[in-house]
Each structure stands twice: as C-alpha cells, then as structure tokens.
C-alpha cells in the first residue's frame, strides 16, 4: 500500500516544483458533467482540493488519504473552506456512508500511464491484487449511478534526477517487479540525504484494466483530447 509518511515533509516542495500542473488538472475536472459533490481518492496534502475549492465554492468536496502525516498538512491548508471535508481512511475499507456524483484520483491510488506510442496501462499504489479488487469495489459503492470516475494520466516512469526550486536535488529510480515495478524516491541537499521512500506498484494492461472496471459497473468513455489529464468512466 502506498503510504507516503517518509515523503510527507517534502511532498509539497517536490510537487510544486513543476511535478504537476494543478491549474490544468482542475480545469479538466470542472469541465466535467455537472456535479454537486466530488470525492478525491488519495488527497495527499490537499494541493488539488485547494485549487478546486477556491474555484468551486458551490459544491461539496471530500478527500481521504491513507497517510496521517499527509492529512496533517492538508487540514490546516483546507480549514478555510467550509465546503471541504477530509477523512483518514484506507481505500480497501472505505466507508463514507454517502455517494458522489464524481470521484477522481490524480497520482493517488490508481492512474494511467500514456506516452502516445505504447499501449496505455493502469498503475496502482496497491501491489496486492485482492486488495485492488476490494478497493475498487469500495469506490464503486461510493459513486452514484450515472456518476463519473476520473483517473489521472501520467507519462512513462523512468530514472531521473532534477534540481527543484530551493536547490535540493530530487531523484527517482525504477526497478521491475513480477506484477509491476518499485519506485524509490530520494531528496538530497548536497551530499546529505534528506528523504528516501519506496513504493511498490502493480500494473494492469489496458484490456485487463477495462475488464476490471467494467466488473464494478464502470464503462470507459474514451477522450477526444490528444493529451487528456484523465481517463474517464461512467457508472452504469
């Protein structure tokens, strides 16, 4: 399971150094079909919700995350918004006692990798197959009939390092696993290692992913965009 405790203190610094374009992500979210409430699956430190809540104050926004240390950063960031609610929950045991018009994850529990050349595939922060099934079942129970599920799109994973905005050096390395890959995250200040975090990811070929979502009532809606921020599903 993708617990980001080791990375939490540096997460915002890394993510806001060009890792994600939050305005672009939210632009696509708010261009979705009309919705009155929305759920973020794996909200982290609340960076996407902050952008969304500041632009859509008429909808109810809920986010949950597995990592307490991330939520400890998200709560003070988002407590100025009366229409935002945060929960500490594990997706495989998710129980919010309500359903949503739209649920989304961008770099959270599940996302797709697309490079425009190779066949896209699904990536999960949950390496265990049965736990993935449990998690998707729980999410499906929280999406209304005709509601939408949006899963973010990222580029291919690779080894690289880059200096971020305060001069620290962020790097990552990828190693194949039987059912996916492991990703090591590092942050250095000169010769001093500030952070190391390992996450094991499970991957699913596109057809297998589509069949999996279909089994929980989610029909795939292909995007007409060349470079979409999300892959979209609708609940039957």
Buried/exposed 122-158: b ≥16 CB within 10 Å, e otherwise: bbbbbbeeebbebbbebbbebbbeebbbbbbbeeeee
User: Domain spans of the chain?
Assistant: 5-154+203-235
Do 201 and 180 meet the contact criterion of CB atoms below 8 Å apart?
A: yes
> 5-154+203-235 belongs to which homologous superfamily?
Vaccinia Virus protein VP39 (3.40.50.150)
Using one digit for the tens of pLDDT, what is the confidence trace for 137-187? 999 999 999 999 999 999 998 999 999 989 999 999 999 999 999 999 999
Using one digit for the tens of pLDDT, what is the confidence trace for 25-76? 999 999 876 899 999 999 999 999 999 999 999 999 999 999 999 999 999 9
Q: Is the pTM of this model over 0.75?
A: yes
């Amino acid at each position: 399971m993708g617990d980001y405790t080791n990375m939490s203190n540096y997460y915002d610094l890394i993510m806001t150094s060009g890792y994600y374009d939050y305005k672009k992500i939210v632009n696509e979210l708010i261009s979705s079909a009309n919705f009155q409430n929305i759920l973020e699956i794996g909200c982290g430190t609340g960076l996407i919700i902050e952008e969304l809540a500041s632009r859509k104050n008429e909808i109810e926004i809920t986010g949950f995350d597995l990592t307490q240390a991330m939520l400890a950063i998200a709560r003070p960031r988002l407590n100025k918004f009366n229409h935002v609610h945060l929960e500490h929950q594990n997706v495989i045991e998710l129980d919010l006692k309500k359903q949503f018009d739209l649920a989304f994850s961008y770099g959270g529990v599940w996302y797709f990798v697309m490079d425009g050349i190779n066949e896209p595939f699904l990536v999960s922060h949950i390496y265990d197959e049965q736990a993935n099934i449990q998690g998707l079942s729980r999410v499906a129970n929280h999406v209304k009939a005709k509601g939408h599920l949006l899963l973010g799109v990222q580029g291919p994973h690779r080894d690289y390092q880059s200096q971020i905005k305060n001069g620290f050096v962020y790097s990552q390395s990828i190693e194949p696993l039987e059912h996916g890959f492991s990703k090591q995250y590092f942050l250095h200040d000169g010769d001093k290692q500030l952070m190391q975090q390992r996450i094991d990811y499970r991957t699913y070929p596109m057809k297998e992913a589509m069949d999996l979502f279909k089994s929980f009532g989610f029909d795939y809606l292909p995007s007409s965009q060349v470079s979409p921020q999300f892959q979209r599903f609708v609940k039957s």
